[in-house]
Amino acid sequence: MRSFVAISLRPNDILESAIHQVGQSGKSVEGRNLHITLKFLGEVKEIEEIRKNLGNIRFGKFTVTLKGMGAFPTVQNGRVLFVKAIPEDVLKSLAREVDSMTEDIPLDHPFTPHITLLRARYRRNFSDIVSRYENTKFLEQDVTSFALFESILKPTGPIYNVIEEYQLM
């Protein structure tokens, strides 16, 4: 089962508008699929131990803000356009907790707090888009839980199903 651990987000008009405006630059993410990935687990054979281990995380509720944009690997030579998520230190701390509870699965890349807006087929310069949205606050949301998701890849786009949700304290 292809899976990941993430914080679900509720899209709003500002975020939906930005997704629509940048969508011509690549394959945009559907609003219902917006999330902050805490750890991508990949193909997992035994999900029960992961479910149990994630239930041991004790972490406080917090508020996340989505503000500004960036691109991977770089703004000038990017394939992925994203919105930055803050507070970085809190999100990194929660991601470390998730990683420690799933330590048998190596990280595929260092954690960067963000939500993906679109994936471009070819590398491109996203400088104009990133500078246009530099000071835009897209969303502020209370984070009261995170979840273990199953990811089913389809030609029309991924389908994410919640396997288990974990409440924050």
Task: Give the integer Cα–Cα distance in Å for 79 and 117.
Answer: 11
- In this predicted structure, the answer to whether residue 102 has a pLDDT above a threshold of 80 is yes
pLDDT tens per residue, range 109-120: 899 999 999 999
Higher per-residue confidence, 155 vs 41? 41
Per-residue pLDDT band at 156 (split at 50, 70, 90): confident
- In this predicted structure, the answer to whether residue 33 has a pLDDT above a threshold of 90 is yes
* Half-sphere CA count of 35, side-chain side, radius 13 A: 22
State yes or no: is 20 an active-site residue. Answer: no
Domain residues for the domain of 40 are 2-167
The residue-averaged pLDDT of 131-142 equals 96
- Give me the percent of the chain exceeding a pLDDT of 90: 85
Which of 30, 8, 7 has the alpha carbon at shortest distance from 117? 30
pLDDT score for 56: 98
Count how many domains the chain has: 1
Instruction: Output the domain CATH number for residue 96.
Output: 3.90.1140.10
Q: For residue 126, what are the contacts with CB-CB under 8 A and spacing of at least 6?
A: 25, 69, 71, 75, 76, 78, 81
- Note whether 41 and 1 are within 8 A (CB): no
Q: Active site residue: 5, 35, 129, 138, which one? A: 35
- In this predicted structure, the answer to whether residue 24 has a pLDDT above a threshold of 80 is no
Residue with tokens 């690997």: 73
pLDDT tens per residue, range 73-87: 999 999 999 999 999
pLDDT score for 26: 84
pLDDT tens per residue, range 35-73: 999 999 999 998 999 999 999 999 999 999 999 999 999
Q: How many residues does the chain have?
A: 169
| DSSP states of 18-38 | HHHHHGGGSEEPPGGG-EEEE
Phi first, then psi: give them for residue 127, nearest 5 degrees.
-55, -45
Q: Active site residue: 114, 115, 139, 149, which one? A: 114
Higher per-residue confidence, 30 vs 100? 100
Task: Give the integer Cα–Cα distance in Å for 63 and 80.
Answer: 25
